[in-house]
Structure 1
Amino acid sequence: MKTRHQFVGKYPILTKSEKLILGTIHPHFTEKFEVQFFYGNRSSIWKILNEAFDNEIGDPITVEGIVNFLRSRKIAISDTILECLRKNQNALDSDLIPEKLNYGLIDQIRNSTINEILFTSGFGKNNAFKLFYVDILKQKITKKIREEKFVLLDPVHFGRPVLLKILVSPSGSANIQLSRSKDYLDVKDNYVGYKTPVKQFKVDLYKDIFKNTI
């Protein structure tokens, strides 16, 4: 099964963008997506951002609402894989066989004002950070990067320093791991009154990450 990216070509990185959300590639079957856009299969990331920013995207969530939100907040979104084969019909990164990577990201980032790239997956096989940092930029992931989950790129790559950082996964299934993280445990008492404290913590994280983009 070969998957060709349906959205990268339609939504290039705008020159005024300051932050970039970067993933791998969407699931193969896009016909039943909630919205025809990146992460549109379940819209989990857009639901979190919509809650974090007082319904700026809108209800219901639409492509137009997402695009307007991203543009106003100077956020870009793209993926690292343009074409891949799949061992199975699932959406697991580990079951992908990348055939064509998105090397166009280099020029698009260089020609923008992006100073921070936020990855929706990390260091595993075919994860977004690994594909971008190792396979596209030809850099080596060090023990320090794995521990800190971020690295500041030398200006030689894009003409300015660019921070690469692993974004907390928007999926609900990631909440169990998040609930055990030091970041959450350190502020756990602040969320005692919430019905879904871990979810609220994630919403607040996203708001903090993206709030300074305008």
Structure 2
Amino acid sequence: MRTIHQYLDKYPIDPRSEKLIVGTIHPHAHEKFVLPFFYGNVSSLWSIFSDAFPDELKKPVTLEGVLQFLQNHRISMSDTILVCDRKKPTALDEDLIPLELNTNIVEQVRRSNINEIFFTSGFGKNGAFRLFYEKILGLKITAQIKQERELVLDKSIFGRPVKLIILYSPSGASNVGLSQTKLYQESKDKFSKSARPVYDFKVQYYRHMFAKKQGNHC
């Protein structure tokens, strides 16, 4: 099963963007997506953003609403894989066989105002951060990076310092692992009365990570 990315050419990185969200590649059956866009298969990321910023991304979430939200927050979307085969017909990174990586992402970031790059998967096989950091940039992941889940790249790579951050995944499949993290354990009492404590934690987390900074002109 060969998957060719449907959105990278149509939605290149906006030079005006200041933040970039990077994944691997969308699931194969894109014609069945809730939204014809990045993370449109079950729209989990956009549901989180809608709950985090309800006045800015209203429900029901639409493609037009998502694009306006991203523009207002100076966020662009991209992925690390242009073409892949799949060992199994799943959306799991571990089942991907990358055939062509999105090396154009480097020049697109260089020509933009992006100062923060967020990855929706990290250090596992074919994780977005691993593919970007090791395969596209040719750098080595250290134990310190794994522990801190972020670092600042030297300005020699993009012409300015750029911060890389490995997000907690928006996918519902990540909830069990997330519930065991130190960050969640330290704040879980806030959500003790919630019917969806891990989800509500994600909403707060994404609100914090993507809030407009004072002085942004959006």
Give the TM-score taking structure 1 as reference length.
0.96
- Give, in whole Å, the separation in 2 of the partners of 1:189 and 1:25: 35
- Give, in whole Å, the separation in 2 of the partners of 1:55 and 1:125: 37
Partner of 2:16: 16
Partner of 1:125: 125
Q: Which secondary structure state, in structure 2, belongs to the residue aligned with residue 124 of structure 1?
A: coil
- Listed as ranges, the matches of 1:61-210 within 5 Å are 61-210=61-210
One-letter amino acid of the counterpart of residue 114, structure 1? I
Partner of 1:4: 4
Deviates more, 1:125-134 or 1:179-188: 179-188
Tell me how many residue pairs correspond in the alignment.
214
Q: Which secondary structure state, in structure 2, belongs to the residue aligned with residue 199 of structure 1?
A: helix
- Give, in whole Å, the separation in 2 of the partners of 1:187 and 1:90: 33
Partner of 1:39: 39
Residue 60 (structure 1) shift: 1.6
Q: Which secondary structure state, in structure 1, belongs to the residue aligned with residue 31 of structure 2?
A: coil
Residue 179 (structure 1) shift: 1.6
Give CA deviations for 1:115-150 in whole Å, capped at 9, x if unaligned: 111101011111100110000000000111111111
Residue 55 (structure 1) shift: 4.4
- Give, in whole Å, the separation in 1 of the partners of 2:168 and 2:37: 20
- Give, in whole Å, the separation in 2 of the partners of 1:187 and 1:89: 36
Residue 195 (structure 1) shift: 2.6
- Give, in whole Å, the separation in 2 of the partners of 1:162 and 1:89: 35
One-letter amino acid of the counterpart of residue 109, structure 1? V
Partner of 2:60: 60
Residue 192 (structure 1) shift: 2.5
Residue 44 (structure 1) shift: 0.2
Gaps of 5+ in 2: none
- Give, in whole Å, the separation in 2 of the partners of 1:164 and 1:4: 26
One-letter amino acid of the counterpart of residue 111, structure 2? N
- Give, in whole Å, the separation in 2 of the partners of 1:62 and 1:54: 13
One-letter amino acid of the counterpart of residue 51, structure 2? E
Give CA deviations for 1:80-114 in whole Å, capped at 9, x if unaligned: 00111112211121121111111110111001111
Deviates more, 1:188-197 or 1:75-84: 188-197
One-letter amino acid of the counterpart of residue 110, structure 1? R
Partner of 2:25: 25
Q: Which secondary structure state, in structure 2, belongs to the residue aligned with residue 156 of structure 1?
A: helix
- Give, in whole Å, the separation in 1 of the partners of 2:187 and 2:34: 33
Gaps of 5+ in 1: none
Question: Pairwise CA RMSD of aligned residues?
Answer: 1.1
- Give, in whole Å, the separation in 1 of the partners of 2:89 and 2:106: 30
Give CA deviations for 1:11-54 in whole Å, capped at 9, x if unaligned: 01111101100000001111110010001000000000011001
Identity, % of aligned positions: 53
